[in-house]
Amino acid sequence: MTVLSRWNSFIAGRGRFALVGVVALAVGVGLAFGIWTVVAQEADAVVARVNGVEIRASDVAIAEEDLGSNIQQLPPEAKREQVIGYLSDLILVAKAAEAKKLADTPEFQRRMAHARNRLLMEALLQSEAKAATNDDAMRKTYEEAAKQMGGEKEVHARHILVDSEDEAKTIAAELKKGADFAELAKRSKEPGAAERAGDLGYFTKDQMVPAFSEVAFALEPGKISDPVKTEFGWHVIKVEDKRDRPVPPFEQVRSQVENYLVRKSQAEFVGKLRQEAKIERLDPKAAEPKK
């Protein structure tokens, strides 16, 4: 596991509490509003008209988000034609629906209210996220996480995994006599062990099962262990190095810190609103699961 992936796991763990019950609310944040900055620009050119209804550059940007992955692979000109064609059809069909008074139906009004609420939610959560992700806040979060990560020990080890204690004893004896570890690693039953020469890279104590970690962290670099039994079989371990767990530089993990603060701020904001609200459930409770 690389230093960066370990940081991702660490920062994700710190933010996990913030996601409970609010993930569904935050999923759409930024999708619609990320492109709405176009609207604020002075030059929002008219790119087409459909029966007198203008299609502007900002409409094209919003429609591109709407179409998403369906058009991402198209060349720029083909993408633009597809989006403008989509918007033209959208206007034509919407006008036809208005002529049939579909906008006056109760179902349409409910859907319209839902869409309005969703967009308002996204706008406010985006605002909360922006306020929470200033440079000072991100650096403070990084420094707090770095302090917790700093000083933790890591071991760089190799291992050979076999089915029986006798085979593990034979391998350990050969290694202690100077046999090539990479060659003997070809006998390991772990997938990919032969290609990696049994290399596990650097790991912290809690990343391995206890029996394995206890032996690996007790060994001095260059030493070979006696056979170690775990739920996976019998291991022979060689420790290559020990070190303090490195902390990646701020710029390398800036996006992860920002994502954490976005989720945390949004979850806390929604949680506060829930605490202050009176939410009444009038539907029948779900049946208790059978034991």
Report yes or no on 280 lying in a domain: no
Separation CA 258–CA 261 (nearest Å): 5
Same domain as 169, residue 128: no
pLDDT digits (tens, 9 = 90+) for 212-271: 999 999 999 999 999 999 999 999 999 999 998 888 899 999 999 999 999 999 999 999
Task: Say yes or no: 94 and 32 in one domain.
Answer: yes
| 127 and 184 assigned to the same domain | no
Last residue of a domain, one of 144, 172, 201: 144
Sequence-distant (≥ 6) Cβ neighbours of residue 164 within 8 angstroms? 234
* 8 and 140 together in one domain: yes
Please indicate, yes or no, if residue 281 is contained in any of the structural domains. Answer: no
- Per the CB < 8 A criterion, the answer to whether 256 and 187 are in contact is no
Question: From CA 192, how far away is CA 188, in angstroms rounded?
Answer: 9
Does 26 lie in the same domain as 85? yes
Cβ neighbours of 151 (radius 10 Å): 9
CB 175 within 8 A of CB 227: no
Into how many domains does the chain fold? 2
Residue-wise pLDDT tens digits, 267-290? 999 999 999 999 988 888 765 555
Supply the CATH number for residue 164's domain.
3.10.50.40
171 part of a folded domain: yes
| pLDDT, tens digit (0-9, with 9 covering 90-100), for 42-63 | 568 999 999 999 999 999 999 9
Same domain, residue pair 32 and 127: yes
Find how far residue 229's CA is from the centre of its chain: 35
Domain residues for the domain of 190 are 153-244
Q: In this predicted model, what pLDDT tens digit does every residue of 176-193 receive, in sequence order? A: 999 999 999 999 999 998
Give the separation between CA 25 and CA 252, rounded to whole angstroms.
Answer: 28
Please report whether residue 21 resides in a domain: yes
| Distance from C-alpha of 34 to C-alpha of 58, rounded to nearest angstrom | 12
279 domain-assigned: no
Residue type, 46: V
User: Is the same domain home to 121 and 162?
Assistant: no
With contact defined as beta carbons under 8 Å apart, do 131 and 262 qualify?
no
Q: Clarify whether residues 130 and 209 are in a common domain.
A: no
7 and 137 part of one domain: yes
Q: Looking at 144, 172, 194, which one is the last position of a domain?
A: 144
Is there a single domain that holds both residue 129 and residue 160? no
Looking at 122, 144, 166, the residue that finishes a domain is 144
Q: What is the pLDDT of residue 39?
A: 42
Secondary structure (H, E, C), 58-116: HHHHHHHHHHHHHCCCCCHHHHHHHHHHHHHHHHHHHHHHHHCCHHHCHHHHHHHHHHH
Considering the domain architecture, whether residues 45 and 99 belong to the same structural domain is answered as yes
What pLDDT is attached to residue 235? 97
**Where on the phi/psi map is residue 201: left (φ > 0), alpha (ψ -120 to 50), or beta?**
left
Prediction pTM value: 0.56
